[in-house]
Amino acid sequence: METTVTASQTLPNSLRTGPDDRGHFGQFGGRYVAETLMPLILDLEREYRAARHDNEFRAEFDRLLKHYVGRPSPLWLAERLTEHLRASASEGFGAKIYLKREDLNHTGAHKINNCIGQILLAKRMGKSKIIAETGAGQHGVATATVAALFGLPCTIFMGAVDVARQQPNVFRMKLLGAEVVAVESGAKTLKDAMNEALRHWVANVHDTFYIIGTVAGPHPYPELVRDFQSVIGDEAKAQILEAEGRLPDMLIAPVGGGSNAIGLFHPFLDDESVEIVGVEAAGEGLDGKHAASLAGGRPGILHGNKTYLLQDDDGQITEAHSISAGLDYPGIGPEHSWLHDIGRVRYEPVTDAEALASFQTLTKLEGIIPALESAHAIAAAERIAPTLGKDKIIIVNCSGRGDKDIFTVADALGVKL
């Protein structure tokens, strides 16, 4: 395995020390924002550094994760899925599959881990209003939830197309007291919601905290979101050591912006025996409309950071497509771009059709309805597990539950509800 580390990093034997002090992971990341936001971003960074070394902050974060979110989330041995895949594999093949059950968190996905961390930062910084962008609505629901818990007014920006396809989550956010702004600009999906949130933030920097929902945006967001989500990998490591007495052979997670994936991956980056696979949404296939920024994009600058982007020759951002609203984004977190370039993580595409099939497989075999995002990772596991020996262990991040997706799935299957 290649373990090249850029010169700017301090501990050359670790892949876990990034970003550098200017927020770069290799050539990726950074702070590409309007001057108006720069002082605030620097403020946030200072505050985050202080909070990280503050035991009280840490204790409050842990308390909320345990008693409010319901952590630790279980690590479930998916025996029926494992057996099902072994049945069609060659003799002696078919890795054992564990699911990290982020779907069992309060609000139904990993998103809440990050929201708890960021709202504690907002409180620490004395900000009185919360904003967020959302695609599938999972991050919007998680943000509206913590805003309700902390009694702060909250505005969620959501592309008009996503508002239409994620109605249950829109209603949930409203019940939680959030204002949901349907964004009509651009392609009316997640990237446009993020543009609109940034526009609102620029005009309200004095009292507003922007809870970004994934490991994207300007430094220090990719770092702090990763750190808040790393509870996933820290728990998974302890749980697999307890269950199996050893590290897993492979990790698999879906990658939209990449927060659930980096949360699972980061604590394992220096464990060379662990293969790591991120799953990008290949939509209709890499020749058609898709959301696979690494497979089909090039490095560029958007939303405050440098990373792989779907774009044309002139640097205009092209529209992403995925059946899963949470993966429907033309970029990816900068740390993933770096892990891709240095070869530490392998990224594989999974299509809408494959995800749809795995959504049903997991539901029938394990009684677990996964989010369509998570179904992408299940599909990759179904593809890879039969090629590995029976003695191998895979942990798949079941990043969320699929209740929000039943309308989309019914529609795709031609079922009228």
Partner 1 sequence: MTRFAATFAKPQTALVAFITAGDGDTAANLDALVAGGADVIELGMPFTDPMADGPAIQAANLRSLAKGTTTADIFAMAAAFRARHAGVPLVLMGYANPMTVRGADWFAGECAKAGVDGIICVDIPSEEDAELGPSLRAAGVELIRLATPTTDPARLPAVLSGAGGFLYYVSVAGITGLQQAAQASIEEAVARLKGATALPVAVGFGVRTPEQAAAIAKVADGVVVGSAFIDIIAEHGDAAAPHVEAFTRSLADAIHGAKEIAA
| Residues of this chain that bind ligand PLP (CB under 6 A) | 109, 135-136, 138-139, 214, 254-261, 326-327, 371, 373-374, 399-400
- In angstroms, what is the minimal distance from the CB of 213 to ligand PLP? 7
Q: Which of 251, 100, 146, 256 is nearest to 191 (CA)?
A: 256
Q: Which is nearer to ligand PLP, 162 or 275 (CB)?
A: 162
Cis peptide before 19 (omega within 30 of 0): yes
Locate 247 and state its tokens: 């590290």
- In angstroms, what is the minimal distance from the CB of 109 to ligand PLP? 4
Catalytic (active-site) positions: 111, 133, 399
Q: Which is nearer to ligand PLP, 74 or 386 (CB)?
A: 74
Q: Which is nearer to partner 1, 18 or 94 (CB)?
A: 18
Is the separation of the CB atoms in 78 and 394 below 8 Å? Answer: no
Q: Give the separation between CA 64 and CA 281, rounded to whole angstroms.
A: 32
3-state secondary structure of 56: helix
- In angstroms, what is the minimal distance from the CB of 93 to ligand PLP? 29
- In angstroms, what is the minimal distance from the CB of 369 to ligand PLP? 12
Q: Give the separation between CA 145 and CA 149, rounded to whole angstroms.
A: 6
Binding partner at 55 among partner 1, ligand PLP, none, C-beta below 5 to 8 Å by kind: none
Binding partner at 334 among partner 1, ligand PLP, none, C-beta below 5 to 8 Å by kind: none
Binding partner at 38 among ligand PLP, partner 1, none, C-beta below 5 to 8 Å by kind: partner 1
Binding partner at 147 among partner 1, ligand PLP, none, C-beta below 5 to 8 Å by kind: none
| 23 alpha-carbon distance from chain centroid | 19
Binding partner at 321 among partner 1, ligand PLP, none, C-beta below 5 to 8 Å by kind: none
Q: Which is nearer to ligand PLP, 155 or 169 (CB)?
A: 169
Is the separation of the CB atoms in 143 and 134 below 8 Å? Answer: yes
- Residue type (1 letter), 226: R
- In angstroms, what is the minimal distance from the CB of 221 to partner 1? 15
Residue nearest to ligand PLP (CB): 400
* Site residues (vs partner 1, CB under 8 A): 22, 30-40, 185-186, 191-192, 195, 198-199, 202-203, 205-206, 298, 300-304, 309, 311, 313-317
- For every residue of 123-181, DSSP letters joined together read HHTT--EEEEEESSSHHHHHHHHHHHHHT--EEEEEEHHHHHHTHHHHHHHHHTT-EEE
- In angstroms, what is the minimal distance from the CB of 400 to ligand PLP? 2
Q: Which is nearer to partner 1, 283 or 297 (CB)?
A: 297
Binding partner at 82 among ligand PLP, partner 1, none, C-beta below 5 to 8 Å by kind: none
Encode 249-278: b = buried (16+ Cβ within 10 Å), e = exposed: bbbbbbbbbbbbbbbbbbbbbeeeebbbbb
Cis peptide before 330 (omega within 30 of 0): no
- Please report, to the nearest 10 degrees, the dihedral formed by the alpha carbons of residues 290, 356, 145, 395 taken in order: -90
